Amino acid sequence: MIPFTLNGSEVFIDANPGERLVHVLRRFGLAGTKEGCLSGKCGSCMVLLNGNAVPSCIIPIFQVKNTTIMTIEKFAETDAYADIVEGFRLAGVSMCGFCNTGKILTAHTLLEENIKPTKQDINNWFSGNLCRCTSIDDLYAGVRQAGLLRRKRDHGK
């Protein structure tokens, strides 16, 4: 049995050690994390592992022992999520439902490290996300807009 914290709850899973985290999450009914390339290149299976956005398809389940996983379902309850979605909406970033998990969680991790990212930072951080539904210029604007909303919220506290 492998213990880990999933969306704030202690869980245990009896799984084949070679099972990928993205597939295990489905067993918990968490469908927001999508299966894509299974090689960590597309970002559709992104989750927050100990606060870092990582592709869950390249994480064998035995590696998550005693870690904290947050999926998009739980993240959607946070203010940080609201800022990002609003920032993306204002900038006209399309949200196709397949890549948005990766885009939102990557934007969150980026803004945690750097609240005012440059275009180069955004390019670098989104190098692990494949997205055909939005333009890169909209994405730059969306991430910056989200950063602005987050700054405003942080100052308001």
- Taking the least distance from each CB to other proteins, the nearer of 63 and 153 is 63
Is 12 a binding residue for other proteins by CB under 8 A? The answer is: no
Take residue 92 and report the two structure tokens written for it. 């006209």
As beta bridge partners, residue 147 has: none
Distance of CA 31 to the CA centre of its chain: 13
For residue 6, what is the enclosing H or E element?
Answer: strand 2-6
Binding to other proteins in span 78-137, by CB under 8 A: 106, 109-110, 124-125, 127-129
State the sign of the Cα–Cα–Cα–Cα dihedral 37, 63, 124, 76.
positive
Take residue 2 and report the two structure tokens written for it. 């492998």
User: How far is residue 57's CA from residue 37's CA, in Å, rounded to a whole number?
Assistant: 8
- Taking the least distance from each CB to other proteins, the nearer of 12 and 62 is 62
Is 39 a binding residue for other proteins by CB under 8 A? The answer is: yes
Is 40 a binding residue for other proteins by CB under 8 A? The answer is: yes
CA distances to 9, 37, 87 from 67, in Å = 11, 24, 30
Tell which one of 11, 38, 95, 115 touches other proteins (CB under 8 A). 38
DSSP 8-state code for residue 44: T
- Taking the least distance from each CB to other proteins, the nearer of 102 and 142 is 102
- Taking the least distance from each CB to other proteins, the nearer of 37 and 90 is 37
Q: Which residues bind other proteins (CB under 8 A)?
A: 16-20, 23, 38-41, 43, 46, 49, 52-55, 58-60, 62-63, 65-66, 106, 109-110, 124-125, 127-129
